Amino acid sequence: MSDPARLVTMNNAYDDLLRRTLSSIQSDLTRLIYLASTRDYNSGVYHHEGLSARYGPESTRVALRAAHKDIFYKLIALSLEELVNELEIYVRISREAPTGFIHTWQELEPYRVAVPMEVDSTMVQLFLSNIRLALEVLRFRQEHSQAYPSASSLQPLLGR
């Protein structure tokens, strides 16, 4: 395949990924985790059966890698408050008990594997730090809502 033709295929794969798959996912953090889950832990290579069948494995890999980085950059640009909202949505989607979820994420730090490869190290540090802070904020809200149930009814509550 010639270079321009390959570029068109990659663009089509990327558009398809955005239009069909990622648009149906509720939040950017959930999209990031979904995209990270398409990457092999050992090789770092991205896989997607449907896209590969349509556009070939190479274009699919490039599209997934690009989408992963783009979503990561979007999350880095969010304020802490917006990231807390993203995390709140993700907790709700996971259908886990918020307390257990927060505890597990603080203990195991599974969000570390959601970071794309070959991105700026300060961005990685900022992302990981912001997630740790967002977890602390959710934990604080959770504890606060348990201690003051009537007062917390005025705030957006976790797991509502």
Partner 1 sequence: MMSTAIFVAVAIFLVLFLLLIMRREEVEEQESVQADGSTQRECRDTLQHPGLALRIFSREDREFILLMRSPRLQRIYQEERRKVALHWVRQTSREVSRIMRTHGLIARQSRNLDASAEAKLFFQYLQLRFICGLLVLLIKTFGPHALHDLASYAGELSQLIGRALPDAAAANHVASSGNPGTP
**Residue 106: CB minimum distance to partner 1, A:** 11
Dist. CA 150–CA 25, nearest whole Å: 33
Inter-residue contact 148 to 111 (CB < 8 Å) = no
Smaller CB distance to partner 1: residue 12 or 99?
Answer: 99
**Residue 66: CB minimum distance to partner 1, A:** 15
**Residue 92: CB minimum distance to partner 1, A:** 20
Residue 55 CB neighbour total at 10 angstroms: 21
Interface residue with partner 1 among 76, 89, 93, 157 (CB under 8 A) is 76
107 binds partner 1 (CB under 8 A): no
Smaller CB distance to partner 1: residue 2 or 122?
Answer: 122
Looking up tokens 């594997």 gives 113
**Which DSSP symbol is given to 46?**
B
Q: Cα angle at 22 between 21 and 23, to 5 degrees?
A: 95
45 binds partner 1 (CB under 8 A): no
Interface residue with partner 1 among 18, 22, 89, 123 (CB under 8 A) is 123
